[in-house]
Chain A
């Protein structure tokens, strides 16, 4: 990924120098393995801090909300779809953005790597082409990156950005024949009671730290429903019903908007797979409205418009 990093630095330097953008949003190399930190730079001299590898799994679109400058931003497939959603929802203007597209072959699931080395401490993780070399105090292990992808990346169908001003490299081939909704289907086959148990167990470790909500570029409301106090919709303790209410409504607010970027899962400190909620909505959006979020600036999202032939079987 040295090539990408060099190219990104070159583009960012040029854009900042010629005044196309005032700020540039990218990543810098993290202080711990498999964690990179989003960074905003203003000065062309700082471009050497920019970095790109397979650990850039957050969603940079998150950092666009309520900004007013001209912004250069890196965007993978899912990130660019979120930027499109931001534009459609009037959260940012297209003219404000210079989108630097990154053809993406997926991000590494840091939990899977840690699991694969038996939970031992990882001291370094270096990417070399298609491989990730992980070192600890008493072990060294080489992984094929495609075998340790984040679960959302493994089933990604939009690896190339949809809306760009410039690409850092040629587009990569899209994955064929992925079955993105297999796990959703297996839950759909359960009895209601079993489904409830499945989801209750899924979120039982939740700390209510709201990292999933805050990492999500869709969650930009000035006041979230969990923070509203008149009326108070949901209690603040870690009571299981309150936690379920939070996860349910958080997911529901992403209906028809989620691009399955996986940022929510990536940031969870206790490893909850909350995509189980949003994926069901994505599946419904696709099956009922033939809609995948953020693919075009031309069309309004399905929950935004009325069409006489909308799905309405549920209405008596």
Chain B
């Protein structure tokens, strides 16, 4: 696989030259935080963010996405027929993705792209995307990717990886898509062994220094009902406001809700992010709500991520350790603490 080294200025210039091949998205400063935007909107690009406030999942799985369009005009011969909404699936490059967010794509793939069920839009959007990662030289105190199967330089889910070497970026292709991307990038020079070694040592050092703080080892062996009935849920959930911050910022939360909207004789069917924190999420048409109480909803979120997922797919936890929910939960409900409680739980004790 190809490797190239760019001076930082040359790299920014090269990204600007990709317009004819890709729609390029990258983290741009928006007020107090960074968010993924098209490169055309960039006033200044700096790859010095911790991470974006919202994960890049919104580029693949928009908060609100048109699925179908329909007409209610009785004169229209195609009235009441759902037609797939047009989508732009031209190639796009998402540059500067942190490894945790790329790792999350793999976790979500199990839901959207599996032998039983394939979500056409999610799959097409992912296929059209080239993920160019940026290794984390300085993981945050709230990061715990290493504890959940990732790492600050984890390559899983990425097509290419940038490594910040002070005044230069080393860009390494990891897949064929990444190879293609790198071949289209102008400038840069092939990396020699010395640079590669420097990058390897950096990655090793950062990874080794990062603490592995969140225990997840026992989760898969604990009986599911025991965890479900564990006594700590009320206490964990007390402070929760039942807002959707954690689920909306999370790169691995995939739940959505389908709505029809009509204006005059035109209508659309769209899907919106939904959140298990909302009472409406499980409200039945009959008026009954099986998850009526706050602690049940909080329990659902953690059990789904840390237990049901593990049991269903026999792998991982459904968390990439990005730490967004830890940082931005308005009432400081910390998934690391909850995971610790669950992992250490002794049924019957």
Q: Which of A114, A235, A266 has the most C-beta atoms of chain B within 10 angstroms of its own C-beta?
A: A235
Stretch from A163-171, A206-214, A253-261, A280-288 that touches the partner: A206-214
With known contacts A39-B238, A58-B331, A227-B279, A269–B140 Cβ distance under 8 A: no
Minimum distance in angstroms from A34 CB to a CB of chain B: 10
Q: Does A37 lie within 8 Å of B30, measured CB to CB?
A: no
Q: Do residues B241 and A62 form an inter-chain contact, with CB atoms below 8 A?
A: yes
**A155: Cβ under 8 A from any B Cβ:** no
Q: How big is chain B's contact interface, by range?
A: 35 or more
Q: Is the CB of B248 within 8 A of A207?
A: yes
Nearest A residue to B35 by beta-carbon distance?
A: A205
Residues of A within 8 A of B140 (CB): 121
Q: Find residues 131-149 in chain B having any chain A CB closer than 8 Å to their own CB.
A: 138, 140-142
Contact B326 A215 (CB under 8 A): no
> In the bound complex, how far is the Cα of B333 from the Cα of A40, in angstroms?
14
The 8 A CB mask of B234-250 against A (1 = contact, 0 = none) is: 01001101111100110
Does B21 reach chain A (CB closer than 8 Å)?
Answer: no
What DSSP secondary structure best describes chain B's contact surface? loop
Question: What 1/0 flags go to B41-68 for Cβ under 8 Å of A?
Answer: 0000000011001100000000110000
Flag whether A119 is at the interface (Cβ < 8 A).
Answer: yes
Query: Are B30 and A205 closer than 8 Å at their CB atoms?
Result: yes
Please state if B142 and A215 are interface contacts (CB–CB under 8 Å). Answer: no
Contact A235 B259 (CB under 8 A): yes
Determine which of A119, A207, A214, A271 lies in contact with B241 in the assembled complex, contact meaning CB atoms within 8 Å. Answer: A214
Q: Is the CB of A208 within 8 A of B244?
A: yes
Residues of B within 8 A of A36 (CB): 332
Residue from A208, A213, A215 whose CB has the most chain B CB atoms within 10 Å: A208
B327 within 8 A of A: yes
A to B contact number (C-beta, < 8 Å) = 108
User: How many Å lie between the Cα of A235 and that of B63 in the bound state?
Assistant: 13
Contact B333–A37 (Cβ < 8 Å): yes
A35: chain B residues at CB < 8 Å are: 329, 331-332
**Which of these, B54, B280, B326, B331, contacts A227 with CB under 8 Å?**
B280
* Contact yes or no, A269 B249, CB < 8 A: yes
Task: Give complex CA distance A270, B54 in Å.
Answer: 9
Interface size range of chain A in the complex: 35 or more
Q: Give the contact stretch, choosing among A188-196, A236-244, A308-316.
A: A236-244
- Closest Cβ neighbor of B329 among chain A residues: A35
Interface of A is mostly: loop
A90 on interface, CB distance cutoff 8 Å: no
A209 cross-chain contacts in B, Cβ below 8 A: 243-245, 248, 275
Contact residues of A between 60 and 85, Cβ < 8 Å to B: 62-63
- Restricting to A191-228, which residues have a CB under 8 Å from any CB of B? 205, 207-211, 213-215, 227
Knowing A31-B336, A32-B334, A235-B261 are in contact, say whether A210-B238 is a contact too (CB < 8 A).
Answer: no
**Of B138, B249, B270, B328, which is within 8 A of A237 by CB?**
B270
- With A121-B141, A211-B243: A37-B63 Cβ-Cβ less than 8 Å: no
- Chain A residue nearest in CB terms to B64: A237
A267 at the interface (CB under 8 A from B): yes
Binding site for A on B (CB under 8 A): 30-33, 49-50, 53-54, 63-64, 138, 140-142, 235, 238-239, 241-245, 248-249, 257, 259, 261, 270, 272, 275, 278-280, 326-334, 336-337
Selected A-B contacts with CB under 8 Å, 19 pairs: A31-B336, A32-B332, A35-B329, A35-B332, A37-B239, A37-B332, A39-B239, A119-B49, A121-B50, A205-B31, A207-B245, A209-B244, A214-B242, A236-B259, A237-B259, A267-B245, A267-B331, A269-B249, A269-B328
